[in-house]
Amino acid sequence: MLFHVRMNVELPHDLPEKDVADILQREKAYSQELQRTGKWRHIWRIAGQYANISIFDVADNDELHQLLCGLPLFKFMDIQVTPLLRHPSAVRADDS
């Protein structure tokens, strides 16, 4: 199943820089591994915001939930999820 996921990040201003650096390093490693496996198909930054729009390709809602909960930044995120279905007028068969 494909999911459109918007993630807005709000780090506390009083979080020590050392902790921020550690979380960001772990976040990058985790997200890149999910990208390599094909679970996290696309990721785009939203200009001017600490946010992204991503496409996940997972078995079901539960798998998506587990992957998102595993994000080191999860507790600092507002996440919006939209399930996606192939549109009947789509001309490409290779993007499902």
Quick check: pTM over 0.85?
yes
Of 29, 27, 86, 24, residue with least CA distance to 55: 86
pLDDT at 86 over 90: no
pLDDT at 19 over 80: yes
Going by pLDDT thresholds of 50, 70 and 90, the confidence category of residue 16 is very high
Q: What residues does each domain of the chain span?
A: 2-84
2-84 belongs to which CATH class? Answer: alpha beta
